[in-house]
Chains A and B, each alone.
Chain A
Amino acid sequence: MQLATLFHRGVTTVAAAGLLAVSAATSAATLTVYTAVEAEDLKKYAARFNEDHPDIEIKWVRDSTGIITAKLLAEKNNPKADVIWGLAATSLLLMKSEGMLHPYQPRGIERLDPKFVDKDDPPAWTGMDAWVASICVNTVEQKKHGFATPTSWVDLTRPEYRGHVAMPNPNSSGTGFLDVSSWLQIFGEEGGWQFMDALHENISHYTHSGSKPCKQAARGEVPIGISFAFRGAKSKADGAPIDIIVPSEGIGWDMEATAIVKGTENLKAAQTLVDWSVSEKANMMYNEGYAVVAIAELAKPVEHFPEGILGGMIDNDFEWAANNRKRILGEWQARYDSKSEAK
């Protein structure tokens, strides 16, 4: 594996050249893939892909959306990743504007819902599935505290929920960012910040990861977690006493998407992976956890997913969100960071 790293880094020594020859002799390629896909799905994703392409090994680097985004940006001049598979479209839009992505039109792209494809030709990225915000409410704790089930975002600002709500920090979590950006779209810029000011009063803590609020709600560590539907459904399937709420104002959502990192030395293998990522097989795999996938006609209902998800998804302006990402995050940090969990 060190051989491959040597290869990547292009160390200009004779020794490296020798090793290079050795590593080139083997046909198998290793792709470093950056992802924010839930950890429990990574093995499955790689295994399904390897069913069709056993000669390409995937080396995952996983972290929260914000972290992976920041990492990619930080490595801009010395990129380590070959492919990004499973990162928020808003993040990929940002990278596209930084010129970090290698545009590529994967085979079979015509079957994708146009919403799930970058507007440029060839596209810089292609979508996989949508992940949507929702609220996890622990029913046991709810009874204990005796508060009503919230049905809207605005409900969460009511005093009875003071200290009972956890949400992800948008600086590190993609879910957190789609929450914030959707509120700014739903309530308007000014109204959005007003809403968040009020919500902030009720927040017990901001978490580093987008799934943690729901996992904490599942354990009763907080009664209410602002998280995303996929996570809630999973926890519910695990037997957690939670309800998954789709707030009436509508819910933010983002796409998980795929792109090739500019400058990769494994372009062929990377293209093979991206081709596969838009395939029917891949879409059916995404559908095991996510109700909305890029090839719309394949989508089947997912167990424990709340009603009304599709109808609740707002008309999200990804371009706007991506272009204003830095500003929004800066503003958010200045207003609320003191309650943020370490990280």
Chain B
Amino acid sequence: MTESALRAPIVKPKVGRDDWTMRAFIGVIGLYLVITLAFPLYAMMSKSVRDNDGAFVGLANYIEYFATPALTWSIGNSLQVATITTLITVTIAFTFAYALTRSCIPLKGLFQSITMIPILVPSLLPGIALVYLFGTQGLIKELLFGYSIYGPIGIVIAEVFFTLPHAIIILITSLSIADARLYEAAVALRTSRLRIFLTVTLPGCRYGLISAAFVVFTLAITDFGAPKVIGGDFNVLATDIYKQVIGQQNFEMGAVVSVVLLIPAVLAFAIDRVVQRRQVALLSSRAVTLEPRPNRGFDAAMLGFCVLVSVFLIGMLGVCQFAALVKFYPYDLSLSLKNYNFDVMDGGGWSSYWNSIRMATYTAGFGTVVVFSGAYLVEKGRGFRAGRTLFQLLAMMPMAVPGLVLGLAYIFFFNHPNNPLGFLYHTMAILVISTIVHFYTVAHLTAVTALKQMDPEFEAVGASLKAPFHRTFRRVTVPVCLPAILDIMIYLFVNAMTTVSAVVFIYGPDTNLASVAVLNMDDAGDIAPAAAMGMMIFYTAASVRLAHFLVSRHLKRRTQAWRIR
């Protein structure tokens, strides 16, 4: 207690029991991410600089890759398809979002729900629909004026279908944060509608546009389902990986192509992160919400556009359902359920469907626990900065890793003869693990956003009341964040149902999945059963989605006594 004239002693905070528990949990979940993400990626990178026998060969594989025109063409093909898709999708999505936010058209809720359809199906399905619409026997192939749907045209249409909802969500958010006062000012100055659009609207949602563009670009360049089904001879990077690995079991070259594919994906991801941060800044300074005013001509045009897009989206599904129910397209159009006899087809039969449901359920269950706990510890933990920062970084990584790359990385890591975790290979567990990791980032961000909206002092109050952190977590954090937790669950469930890319490399004889079955049936030429299975996935995802909506609404009603802010 003597006040020495020297320097005061440096305090080393005592790490309490709560802190130890939290650190242990961060450690465990962090380790989980390291083992299921960082290690496999490392294994993949290292595979790309080794030969078949595992000897280090430097960049020899890369040199071989770039000396093989058949492979390098795909880079250009991928960029071309992704770029065109981005332009088309962003244009459609912007117009659609504009209609929903800035016009007075009716049925906005319905339109918005319809745009979410593509999220509920594997990206293979639009390809299948296009075969029936524009293939040699296509229902409306005349619309292509003799061009073949197999190739870039088909890929682009399928990718537009597949990426549209993602772009629309971003742009609706972006357009709805506009400040009405800017528009009032512009109108007061008698600015023309076009000029307002060019000088207020577009600049106002520029970050949304950039972000949407990069998200679409990444999805389109890394997607594998659409080019697989409808790409024909038009090779892209994603199908090259598959071809190298599955078709030729040339794992080293698969790793090389994966690294090549990682580059645009990581770049796009990085740019998108920067842009998103800016958009968030805009969001927090939002002001008066804009209420659109009726304008008959404009509203009619917007309504027409929305109907057109909706017809496109529903039509793609409708044609798949039609094909699934027809006996022998195009020669015998009588109805039949024979295409649902999955057990006599490639792809694992009905058991693959049940596997998918099990896999999606486990993923939603375990994934939500892992993701939300992880986000909580990162967000609310005290001290242990380095650990938390590292964790945050790991949690953001999966977004930049294409599914195929992740799946391939899993082969390298988990199928390595010396890996003690090798027993996981081909099991349900590894499918669940990979799917959780594959979709970790978005789920994590959802959790973080919800946690950030909570009063930051709950934990401090809990601690002052001598309640251990896990009690406050259970009794306060979880109930308050329940809507977000349900969102994470449904997100993981739906994606686990529809994903093909990562799991296609790691499913085993007992763990066939519905989405992979779609792929394999299409591969074997059984396209109608593939469509049937694809529609099974859609109905499942859609019903779960509906159930989620009902549960959320019920919850909202039950808790509205305290949820009003």
Shortest beta-carbon contacts, A-B, top 9: A215-B525, A70-B249, A342-B239, A212-B525, A40-B344, A39-B346, A74-B249, A339-B233, A343-B247
Q: Mark A227-260, 1 if CB is under 8 A from B, else 0.
A: 0000000000011110000000000000000000
CA distance A73 to B239 in the complex (A): 22
Residues in B with CB closer than 8 Å to A239 are 327-328, 331-332
CA distance A241 to B233 in the complex (A): 27
* Cross-chain pairs A/B with CB under 8 angstroms, 22 sampled: A2-B427, A6-B423, A13-B420, A32-B509, A39-B344, A43-B344, A59-B509, A60-B509, A63-B246, A78-B415, A172-B248, A214-B525, A215-B524, A215-B526, A219-B328, A219-B329, A220-B331, A239-B332, A341-B231, A342-B227, A342-B228, A342-B239
Structural contact, B331 and A211, CB atoms closer than 8 A: no
Chain A, Cβ-Cβ closest to B150: A205
Structural contact, A221 and B137, CB atoms closer than 8 A: yes
Q: How many residues of B contact A (CB 8 A)?
A: 50
Chain B, Cβ-Cβ closest to A39: B346
Residue of A11, A63, A74, A222 near B423 (CB, 8 A) is A11
**Nearest CB on A from B429, distance (A):** 8
List residues of chain A with CB under 8 Å of any chain B CB. Answer: 1-2, 5-6, 9, 11, 13, 16, 32, 39-40, 43, 59-64, 66-67, 70-71, 73-74, 77-78, 80, 140, 169, 171-172, 205-209, 211-216, 218-222, 238-241, 333, 337-343
Q: Is B374 an interface residue (CB 8 A)?
A: no
Structural contact, A241 and B331, CB atoms closer than 8 A: yes
Q: Mark B210-239, 1 if CB is under 8 A from A, else 0.
A: 000000000000000001100111010001
Apart from the given pairs A39-B345, A39-B524, A208-B247, 20 other A-B contacts in the complex at a CB distance below 8 Å:
A5-B423, A5-B427, A40-B344, A60-B509, A70-B247, A169-B247, A211-B524, A212-B523, A219-B328, A220-B331, A222-B136, A239-B331, A338-B70, A339-B233, A341-B231, A342-B228, A342-B239, A342-B242, A343-B228, A343-B247
Structural contact, A77 and B427, CB atoms closer than 8 A: no
Q: Mark B341-372, 1 if CB is under 8 A from A, else 0.
A: 00111110100000000000000000000000
Whether A205 contacts B232 in the complex (CB less than 8 A), given A220-B330, A241-B331, A342-B242, comes out as yes
Which secondary structure dominates where chain B touches chain A? loop
Structural contact, A2 and B423, CB atoms closer than 8 A: yes
Residue of B73, B345, B509 near A40 (CB, 8 A) is B345
CA distance A211 to B523 in the complex (A): 9
List residues of chain B with CB under 8 Å of any chain A CB. Answer: 70, 73, 131, 135-137, 150, 227-228, 231-233, 235, 239, 242-243, 246-249, 251, 327-332, 343-347, 349, 415, 417, 420, 422-423, 425-427, 429, 508-510, 523-527
Structural contact, A337 and B232, CB atoms closer than 8 A: no
**Nearest CB on B from A172, distance (A):** 5
Residue of A209, A219, A220 near B523 (CB, 8 A) is A209
Whether A343 contacts B242 in the complex (CB less than 8 A), given A5-B426, A215-B524, comes out as yes
**Nearest CB on B from A139, distance (A):** 10
> Interface centre among B131, B227, B327, B328, by most A CB within 10 Å?
B328
Residues in A with CB closer than 8 Å to B249 are 67, 70-71, 73-74
Structural contact, B510 and A67, CB atoms closer than 8 A: no
Residue of B131, B228, B328, B510 near A1 (CB, 8 A) is B510
**Nearest CB on B from A43, distance (A):** 6
Whether A238 contacts B328 in the complex (CB less than 8 A), given A207-B525, A221-B135, A342-B239, comes out as yes
Residues in B with CB closer than 8 Å to A1 are 427, 510
Residue of A16, A140, A342 near B331 (CB, 8 A) is A140
> Interface centre among B242, B243, B330, by most A CB within 10 Å?
B243
Structural contact, B525 and A220, CB atoms closer than 8 A: no
Structural contact, B247 and A219, CB atoms closer than 8 A: no
CA distance A60 to B346 in the complex (A): 11
Residues in B with CB closer than 8 Å to A140 are 331
Structural contact, A66 and B247, CB atoms closer than 8 A: yes
Residues in B with CB closer than 8 Å to A73 are 249
CA distance A172 to B242 in the complex (A): 12
**Nearest CB on B from A94, distance (A):** 13
Structural contact, A70 and B233, CB atoms closer than 8 A: no
Residues in A with CB closer than 8 Å to B150 are 205
CA distance A6 to B345 in the complex (A): 29
Residue of A32, A77, A219, A337 near B137 (CB, 8 A) is A219
Structural contact, B523 and A208, CB atoms closer than 8 A: yes
Structural contact, A172 and B70, CB atoms closer than 8 A: no
Structural contact, B243 and A343, CB atoms closer than 8 A: yes
